[in-house]
């Protein structure tokens, strides 16, 4: 269950273990048998992430494109690798390590130009140093769509998922229903800079933490969060609980088939009326 920080982390994890090495590739589940055969006994030459897309380079002109979707998981382990379970789509193994991919939305062999087409349809990624938030602003500032929906649109900004969306809007006191074109440039610049910071922290710690030090449980005299998603957050999955800052009841609503969370006190409605 990954957002962009997880994918960047996994690209680094693959690289650490297999870059420059000849790997064995198999598809115990069978759905990627042909692709695995074509990279078996090849050298992993490159790993890259853009948003939630992961690329493993076996050049020339040959990449494995992985997208975990909502359920996909990647697990690393040592050698010898244990017998794979029958849901392993792709196992990559070296004499010292193995990696098992399960449940991805996408695991496919692609060419350089197919890879480029994927980059071309993705927006700037806060975790790619060369990417620029101004490109996203061009579209956001002209859109009547709510900022909450725009933040999840990978064509506009790549790598943000449901947790970062809710949390970054909270951190900036922005109504999720505010149309993109009603944001100020200063608000967007602050959001982008914050995502660059938060997501880099996410890569480092391998979890999403968005709570400022002065609002951490120990600073606020409350117990630490216990939740299966792991990090300290302000609003994500905290529906009907009290806001850590103002005490208002955190609200939730469906937006484009995803659950949105926000604090009506800290993020007062300035956008369109909502039900």
Partner DNA sequence: AGCTCATGGCGAG
Partner DNA sequence: TCGCCCTGAGCTG
Q: Please give the positions annotated as active site.
A: 2-3, 52, 258
- Number of Cβ within 10 Å of residue 250's Cβ equals 23
Binding mask 109-148 for DNA (x = CB under 7 A): ----------------------------------------
On the question of a cis peptide bond just before residue 80, with omega within 30 degrees of 0, the verdict is yes
Among 8, 9, 17, 52, binds DNA (CB under 7 A): 52
In whole angstroms, give the CA distance from residue 38 to residue 100: 17
Count of residues interacting with DNA (CB under 7 A): 34
Told to check if 171 binds DNA by CB under 7 A, we report: no
Told to check if 274 binds DNA by CB under 7 A, we report: no
Binding mask 14-43 for DNA (x = CB under 7 A): ---------------x--------------
Q: Which is nearer to DNA, 44 or 64 (CB)?
A: 64
Among 22, 105, 206, 270, binds DNA (CB under 7 A): 105
Residue 99 backbone dihedrals phi, psi, to 5 degrees: -140, 130
In whole angstroms, give the CA distance from residue 140 to residue 104: 30
E strands, the chain, in order: 22-26, 42-43, 46-50, 53-57, 63-67, 73-78, 88-93, 97-102, 106-110, 251-255, 258-262
Please report, as ranges, the residues that interact with DNA according to CB under 7 A.
1-3, 6, 29, 51-52, 67, 69-73, 85, 87, 89, 102-105, 152, 154, 161-163, 208, 228-230, 237, 256-259
């Amino acid at each position: 269950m990954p957002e962009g920080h997880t994918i960047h982390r996994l690209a680094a994890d693959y690289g650490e273990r297999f870059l420059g090495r000849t790997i064995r590739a198999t598809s115990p589940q069978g759905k990627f048998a042909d692709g695995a055969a074509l990279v078996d006994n090849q050298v992993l030459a490159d790993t890259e992430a853009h948003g939630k897309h992961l690329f493993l380079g076996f050049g020339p002109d040959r990449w494995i494109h992985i997208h975990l979707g909502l359920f996909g998981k990647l697990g690393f382990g040592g050698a010898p690798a244990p017998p794979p379970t029958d849901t392993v789509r792709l196992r990559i193994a070296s004499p010292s390590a193995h990696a098992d991919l399960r449940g991805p939305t996408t695991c496919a062999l692609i060419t350089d130009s197919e890879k480029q087409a994927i980059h071309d349809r993705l927006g700037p990624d806060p975790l790619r140093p060369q990417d620029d938030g101004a490109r996203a602003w061009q579209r956001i500032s002209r859109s009547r769509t709510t900022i909450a929906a725009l933040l999840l649109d990978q064509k506009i900004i790549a790598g943000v998922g449901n947790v970062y969306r809710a949390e970054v809007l909270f951190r900036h006191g922005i109504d999720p229903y505010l149309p993109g074109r009603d944001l100020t440039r200063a608000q967007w610049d602050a959001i982008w800079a914050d995502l660059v910071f938060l997501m880099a922290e996410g890569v480092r710690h391998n979890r999403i933490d968005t709570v400022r030090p002065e609002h951490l449980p120990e600073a606020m005299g409350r117990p630490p969060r216990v939740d299966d998603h792991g990090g300290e957050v302000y609003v994500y999955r905290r529906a009907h609980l009290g806001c850590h800052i103002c005490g208002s009841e955190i609200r939730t609503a469906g937006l484009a088939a995803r659950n949105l969370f926000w604090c009506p006190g800290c993020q007062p409605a300035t956008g369109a009326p909502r039900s």
